[in-house]
A = this chain, B = another copy of it.
Amino acid sequence: MLTVFGSIALDTTRTPFETKERILGGAATYASMAASFFVPVSLIGAIGNDFPDKYYTQLGNKMDIKGLKRFNDQKTFFYDSTFDFDLSHRTTNITELNVIENFEPIVPAEYKNSKFIYLANNDPEQNIKIIDSFNSPELIVCDTIEYWIQNKKNSVISMIEKTNGVVINDQEARLLCNNSNLVKCGKQLLSYGPNFAIIKKGEHGVLLFIGDDVVPIPGYPLESVTDPTGAGDSFAGGFMGYLISKSKNHLIDDLALVKESILMGSVMGTFAIEEFGIHGLMRITSENILDRYDKYKKLLHV
């Protein structure tokens, strides 16, 4: 079982072509949805009194949501943003933390033996507490965001020290490591202690740092993007889910499997951004996923 902890949001997303209001979003939503195609997932998070039953049901159909706590005196985390014409730059219009601001996450008893943990973009201090709540996790992977790097940099590093892997985007890596060269950033991330680091570069793919290897993996070439929201989170969920589902043991000692899991993560990211919100992940089948994965792998063969 993979336990995902992170934000569940209501997103208002505006592109030059269409606007969708208060749709289901959040880092944990995308990551857990993507992972659920490969492994049983359990979700830890908080929602408010405005969270539609329909979304609650959509999450519940895909995963265990005993850890999803509803607070009837508060509102759900809300994020309103606008993409530019190229869908490459996003401007934040409104961020209302609401229920997640002072959330004290509790790991349900049934989740405590979870071996695999993915920590989406939460407060690193919350993440450190969560890590210590599990009995004997085998693989802990975290992401983080600019906000925490700017406000709690030391806690971000302490969190990374407690993980097996970090998945982070290029701008965040540069900010955290104070270096513009991504190869140097990746090596610095490894120096904090995790077994691997993955720097996400959007459409340009990722750089994987593991042992002494620096492995570049290009993105899947996609012609039609509708809503880039959730690409990186779906990548992380797909990566974790596939890795866990295929590994017998020693999860991160098998470089070939780690690379394949990155391809699968990228595939899940492409499905996420072809439609608004989670619709791209909701409408696909395992067959769609494997078809794209096989095509991608074949393209990359040299």
Cβ distance A294 to chain B, nearest Cβ, rounded Å: 12
Cβ distance A177 to chain B, nearest Cβ, rounded Å: 13
List 14 extra interface pairs beyond A216-B300, A260-B302, CB under 8 A.
A85-B180, A86-B180, A183-B223, A187-B223, A204-B204, A204-B205, A213-B299, A214-B221, A214-B299, A216-B218, A216-B221, A217-B218, A259-B302, A300-B302
Q: Within 8 Å CB of A213, what residues of B?
A: 299
Q: Within 8 Å CB of A109, what residues of B?
A: none
Q: Within 8 Å CB of A207, what residues of B?
A: 221
With both beta carbons as reference points, the residue of chain B lying nearest to A179 in the complex is identified as: B86
Cβ distance A220 to chain B, nearest Cβ, rounded Å: 7
A216: contacting residue among B182, B205, B215, CB under 8 A: B205
Cβ distance A239 to chain B, nearest Cβ, rounded Å: 14
Asked if A181 and B216 sit within 8 Å, CB to CB, the answer is no
With both beta carbons as reference points, the residue of chain B lying nearest to A203 in the complex is identified as: B182
A297: contacting residue among B87, B184, B218, B302, CB under 8 A: B302
Q: Which of A201, A213, A223 has the largest count of B CB atoms less than 10 A from its CB?
A: A223
Q: Within 8 Å CB of A92, what residues of B?
A: none
> How many copies of this protein are present in the complex?
2
Asked if A216 and B214 sit within 8 Å, CB to CB, the answer is no
**Interface status of A249 (Cβ within 8 A of chain B):** no
Cβ distance A290 to chain B, nearest Cβ, rounded Å: 15
**Interface status of A251 (Cβ within 8 A of chain B):** no
With both beta carbons as reference points, the residue of chain B lying nearest to A225 in the complex is identified as: B181
Q: Within 8 Å CB of A299, what residues of B?
A: 213-216
With both beta carbons as reference points, the residue of chain B lying nearest to A216 in the complex is identified as: B218
Asked if A88 and B180 sit within 8 Å, CB to CB, the answer is yes
The answer to whether A256 and B302 touch (CB under 8 A), given A207-B221, A216-B218, is yes
**Interface status of A67 (Cβ within 8 A of chain B):** no
